[in-house]
């Protein structure tokens, strides 16, 4: 993607999707999406599969450029920001975690290579990664394998969260981070995620409704459009798409 000739830097970290449209091939994935997240607040994005939820995170991180509209941080279009400056402001924890072939410590330190040993250890403890390190032969020097193949999914998530905590970025993007974890890892990852979200501007894609309830605002997407938005209680009272989705989720949890 092109770099701006005269880069701008935001002075704050609120987020705005302004009439955003994005197409992938012949398909419109985001269709006139308008959303805002005040600095330090949490937005949860929910909806059926294929609704365009993850695409919003990708556009915010500028993995792609919008076809129409704008994505802004602190009033500055992400296309007007230097890529390194944009990435420095964003910590990303996605469901599919990629770790680089090397040790656990090397992978955590990618978040902030100049961090002190104490800062690295503190991030690991907050992410509940210290529990993993204690039981692995080699501890911090344990090899994770290419892509993190020598660790379980939950262990990879804990490394990813520790890396994000160490980075200490003002904006956090989360995507379905506990959807495929066993109960023990899910509880540990949730604890780490709560540490990571504290005091930061957060956009999260989620299916687990307990996380959604703690968001300041919820947007329900379908076919690339925002069909409802408000806080959890408002949307339940509205008895619309979100309320139906909530009821289905609760029924599924009860069956499990």
Q: For residue range 107-142, what is the model confidence (pLDDT) as tens digits?
A: 999 999 999 999 999 999 999 999 999 999 999 999
Domains present along the chain, CATH in parentheses: 1-89+171-178+200-251 (3.40.50.300), 93-168 (3.40.50.300)
What whole-number percentage of the chain has pLDDT above 70? 95
Report pLDDT digits (tens) over 31-80: 999 999 999 999 999 998 889 999 999 999 999 999 999 999 999 999 99
* Residues 51/59, Cβ–Cβ less than 8 Å: no
Q: What angle do CA 84, 16, 91 make, to 5 degrees?
A: 40
Place of tokens 């701008």: 8
Q: What gap in Å lies between CA 37 and CA 178, rounded to an integer?
A: 23
Nearest to 36 by CA among 54, 60, 64: 60
* Residues 74/11, Cβ–Cβ less than 8 Å: yes
**3-state secondary structure (DSSP) of residue 103:** strand
């Amino acid at each position: 993607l092109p770099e701006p000739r005269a880069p701008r830097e935001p002075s704050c970290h609120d987020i705005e999707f302004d009439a955003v449209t994005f197409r992938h091939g012949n398909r419109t994935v985001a269709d006139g999406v308008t959303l805002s997240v005040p600095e330090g607040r949490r937005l949860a994005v929910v909806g059926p599969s294929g609704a365009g939820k993850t695409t919003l995170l990708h556009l915010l991180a500028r993995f792609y450029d919008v076809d129409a509209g704008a994505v802004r941080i602190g009033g500055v279009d992400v296309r007007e920001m230097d890529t390194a400056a944009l990435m420095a402001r964003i910590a990303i924890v996605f469901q599919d975690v990629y770790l680089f072939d090397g040790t656990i410590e090397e992978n955590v330190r990618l978040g902030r290579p100049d961090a002190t040993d104490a800062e690295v250890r503190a991030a690991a403890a907050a992410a509940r990664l210290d529990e993993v390190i204690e039981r692995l032969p080699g501890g911090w020097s344990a090899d994770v394998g290419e892509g993190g193949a020598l660790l379980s999914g939950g262990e990879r998530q804990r490394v990813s969260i520790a890396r994000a905590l160490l980075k200490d970025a003002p904006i956090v993007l989360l995507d379905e981070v506990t959807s495929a974890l066993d109960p023990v890892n899910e509880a540990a990852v949730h604890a780490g995620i709560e540490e990571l979200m504290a005091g930061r501007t957060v956009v999260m894609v989620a299916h687990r409704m307990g996380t959604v309830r703690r968001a300041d605002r919820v947007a329900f997407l379908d076919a690339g459009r925002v069909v409802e938005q408000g806080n959890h209680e408002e949307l339940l009272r509205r008895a619309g798409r979100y309320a139906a989705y909530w009821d289905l989720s609760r029924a599924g949890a009860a069956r499990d």
